[in-house]
């Protein structure tokens, strides 16, 4: 797989990341298979050249991280070949007591405890990158910066970033941190194009931040016969795929990869054949004209 640099880290990584959201099965429908499917998916991704693995403390209630740890133990030496990302700050209702609501929590104590839990579940000593999963409305940038520095000094996290933040929220946190935040993970796809307009990708370009695109195929909606909210898109997606001799999924990922901010799509399928097939997306180059053709079809109207 083609590679790229990651923010200001100096790391060279795969252009696609592998996402562990469904390693334990679809949300609310765990596989209860002892991790067989998930381990196979992780190892298939590693074999296909993915070197960034994206997880979170809430995925499968922690099971996804545990399954990822099983995969690391199944293949000695794999940990040294990949970059491990995890996220925290979303807390489910009932935690820690029955009246506690679903909420976001970027308090220093919770950040540190979450990282320690993630490391224990995966059986590793250090995360390469920790992201705040959602922006806590009560987030204190100075408090978060202190937690980040504590984790870095303790050798538990190397680099930090955020997910789903507005540019202003990013700026406030970055000003409090002594080191550059290296990545911003947001929802970006042909079906979800807000980051093109709200300043997120502009900021990534200006600050040398690597944007990670979660749900780059819009949770599979881009592969339906008619894309919800964009009825003109699927015929154009199919036509471009036929012209290039690839699948519509490859075209949808290539559309993201064409952006100069070096977007890193996070692929989440657990099917080994699809994991391998999608790894070819960085080899699919879209012309400027084709990129805009797809954008126009997704918008349903020409640009102003």
In this prediction, what percent of the chain has a pLDDT beyond 90?
Answer: 94
pLDDT in tens, 25-64: 887 788 888 999 999 999 999 999 999 999 999 999 999 9
> What is the reported pLDDT for 26?
84
CA atoms within 13 A on the CB side of 52: 29
> What is the reported pLDDT for 28?
75
Q: Over the chain, what is the mean pLDDT?
A: 96
Distance CA 136, CA 159 (A): 20
Q: Which residues lie across from 53 on neighbouring strands? A: 18, 84
3-221+259-283, what's its fold?
Answer: TIM Barrel (3.20.20)
pLDDT in tens, 81-126: 999 999 999 999 998 899 999 999 999 999 999 999 999 999 999 9
In this prediction, what percent of the chain has a pLDDT beyond 70?
Answer: 100
Distances (CA, A) of 57 to 1, 21, 116: 28, 10, 10
Over residues 63-75, the mean pLDDT reads 97
Q: Which residues are catalytic?
A: 59
CB atoms within 10 A of CB 226: 12
What's phi and psi for 14, nearest 5 deg? -65, 150
Would you place residue 181 in the very low, low, confident or very high pLDDT band (cuts 50, 70, 90)? very high
Query: Is the pTM higher than 0.85?
Result: yes
Is the pLDDT score of 258 beyond 80? yes
Is the pLDDT score of 150 beyond 90? yes
Is the pLDDT score of 144 beyond 80? yes
> What is the reported pLDDT for 32?
85
Distance CA 152, CA 87 (A): 15
């Amino acid at each position: 797989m083609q590679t790229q640099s990651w923010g200001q880290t100096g790391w060279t990584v795969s252009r696609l990341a592998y996402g562990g959201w469904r390693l334990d099965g679809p949300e609310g429908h765990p596989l209860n298979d002892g991790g067989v499917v998930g381990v196979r998916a992780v190892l298939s991704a590693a074999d296909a050249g993915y070197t960034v693995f994206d997880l979170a403390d809430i995925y499968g209630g922690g099971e996804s991280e545990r399954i990822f740890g099983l995969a690391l133990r199944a293949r000695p030496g794999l940990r040294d070949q990949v970059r491990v990302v995890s996220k925290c700050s979303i807390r489910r209702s009932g935690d820690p007591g029955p009246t506690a609501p679903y909420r976001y929590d970027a308090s220093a104590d919770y950040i540190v405890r979450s990282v320690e839990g993630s490391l224990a579940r995966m059986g590793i000593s250090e995360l390469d990158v920790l992201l705040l999963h959602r922006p806590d409305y009560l987030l204190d940038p100075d408090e978060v910066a202190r937690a980040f520095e504590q984790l870095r000094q303790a050798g538990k996290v190397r680099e930090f970033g955020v997910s789903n933040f507005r540019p202003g929220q990013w700026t406030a946190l970055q000003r409090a941190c002594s080191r550059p935040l290296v990545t911003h993970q947001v929802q970006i796809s042909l079906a979800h194009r807000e980051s093109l307009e709200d300043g997120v990708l502009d900021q990534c370009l200006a600050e040398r931040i690597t944007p990670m695109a979660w749900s780059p195929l819009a949770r599979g909606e881009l592969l339906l016969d008619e894309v919800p909210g964009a009825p003109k898109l699927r015929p154009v997606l199919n036509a471009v795929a036929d012209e290039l001799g690839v699948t519509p999924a490859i075209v949808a990922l290539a559309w993201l990869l064409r952006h100069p901010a070096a977007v890193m799509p996070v692929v989440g399928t657990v099917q080994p054949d699809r994991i391998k097939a999608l790894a070819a997306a960085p080899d699919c180059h879209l012309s400027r004209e084709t990129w805009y053709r797809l954008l126009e079809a997704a918008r349903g109207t020409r640009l102003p």
